[in-house]
């Protein structure tokens, strides 16, 4: 197999200009099949623009875009049709028939919502609605799954559960994944690879070499987290060392009359 055959996405010299500013500027990116990549960048650096181009929701001004036909996007908000029940939302746009229905029910079961097939979207919690959106995406068996801050609107606990679910489903179905996120910990927990966008290009492209299960307390996790936060322009305080790790320093002389 050639290296090209294992690629799901190939971007070359990508350029996108808005109001005279090149948001993406001569950007190259390859995504391998089955690889989970997290895309980080400060606000307004062009992450969503890149994802929209990959999803054919926008077109570049220049450059070459090779992406698979089978691709789906999950957005920050679930975008369910309120007048259709959950099952109908999951199978939306697919041919009618017993087979599609069975597969849609199976997709709902995978996200733990088989009991909610007949519910209306308006009765679901935010996390449940986002799981329906995920089931809808998975049913299409995408080779490329584009996730645009899919957990951002969820409460902290639901977000952690959703991250675990998405990680598990992606390991099972093996699409190439591009996850746009602002959350450095989320990126390090989930991704095989992290890329950082700044000034129209990728300023970091790094494999996530942190052992599973990935814990924030792991020194490799903490070190990558610091590198990424620095890339994002966030001031990172120096790690706090235990007193035992500090060198013995001479006790300073106190001025006469001072009390210890």
Ligand X SMILES: Nc1ncnc2c1ncn2[C@@H]1O[C@H](COP(=O)(O)OP(=O)(O)OP(=O)(O)O)[C@@H](O)[C@H]1O
Which residues would be at the binding site for ligand X (CB under 6 A)? 18-19, 23, 41, 43-49
Q: How far is the CB of 197 from ligand X (least distance, A)?
A: 7
For tokens 């009390």, what's the residue? 259
Pick between residue 44 and residue 97 the one whose CB is nearest to ligand X.
44
Q: How far is the CB of 48 from ligand X (least distance, A)?
A: 3
Q: How far is the CB of 199 from ligand X (least distance, A)?
A: 12
Q: How far is the CB of 52 from ligand X (least distance, A)?
A: 7
**For the chain, what percentages of helix, strand and coil (3-state, to nearest 5) are there?**
35, 25, 40
Q: Which residues contact 199 (CB under 8 A, 6 or more apart)?
A: 25, 45
Angle of helix 98-110 versus helix 126-139 axis, rounded to 10: 130
Name the strands in the sheet holding 36-40, side by side, starting at the edge strand that comes first in the sequence. Answer: 71-74, 144-148, 176-180, 36-40, 193-198, 201-207
Q: How far is the CB of 25 from ligand X (least distance, A)?
A: 12
CB 196 within 8 A of CB 40: yes
Pick between residue 40 and residue 190 the one whose CB is nearest to ligand X.
40
Pick between residue 87 and residue 187 the one whose CB is nearest to ligand X.
187
Give the C-alpha separation, 231 to 22, whole Å: 20
Pick between residue 113 and residue 187 the one whose CB is nearest to ligand X.
187
Pick between residue 47 and residue 131 the one whose CB is nearest to ligand X.
47
């Amino acid at each position: 197999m050639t290296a090209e055959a294992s690629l799901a996405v190939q971007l070359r010299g990508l350029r996108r200009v808005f109001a005279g500013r090149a948001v993406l500027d001569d950007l190259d990116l390859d995504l391998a099949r089955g690889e989970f990549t997290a895309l980080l960048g400060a606000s307004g650096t062009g992450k969503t623009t890149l994802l929209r181009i990959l999803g054919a929701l926008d077109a570049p001004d220049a450059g070459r875009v090779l992406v698979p036909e089978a691709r789906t996007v999950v957005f920050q908000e679930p975008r369910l049709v309120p007048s259709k029940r959950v099952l109908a939302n999951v199978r939306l746009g697919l041919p009618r028939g017993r087979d599609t229905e069975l597969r849609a029910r199976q997709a709902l079961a995978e996200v733990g919502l088989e009991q909610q097939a007949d519910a209306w979207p308006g009765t679901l919690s935010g996390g449940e609605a986002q799981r329906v959106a995920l089931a809808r995406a998975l049913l299409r068996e995408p080779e490329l799954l584009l996730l645009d801050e899919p957990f951002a609107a969820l409460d902290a606990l639901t977000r952690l559960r959703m991250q675990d679910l998405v990680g598990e489903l992606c390991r099972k179905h093996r699409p190439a994944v591009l996850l746009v996120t602002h959350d450095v910990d989320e990126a390090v927990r989930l991704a095989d690879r992290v890329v950082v966008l700044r000034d129209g290009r990728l300023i970091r492209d790094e494999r996530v070499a942190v052992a599973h299960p990935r814990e924030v307390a792991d020194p490799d996790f903490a070190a990558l987290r610091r590198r990424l936060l620095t890339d994002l322009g966030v001031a990172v305080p120096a790690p706090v060392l235990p007193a035992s790790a500090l060198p013995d320093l001479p006790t300073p002389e106190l001025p006469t009359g001072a009390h210890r």
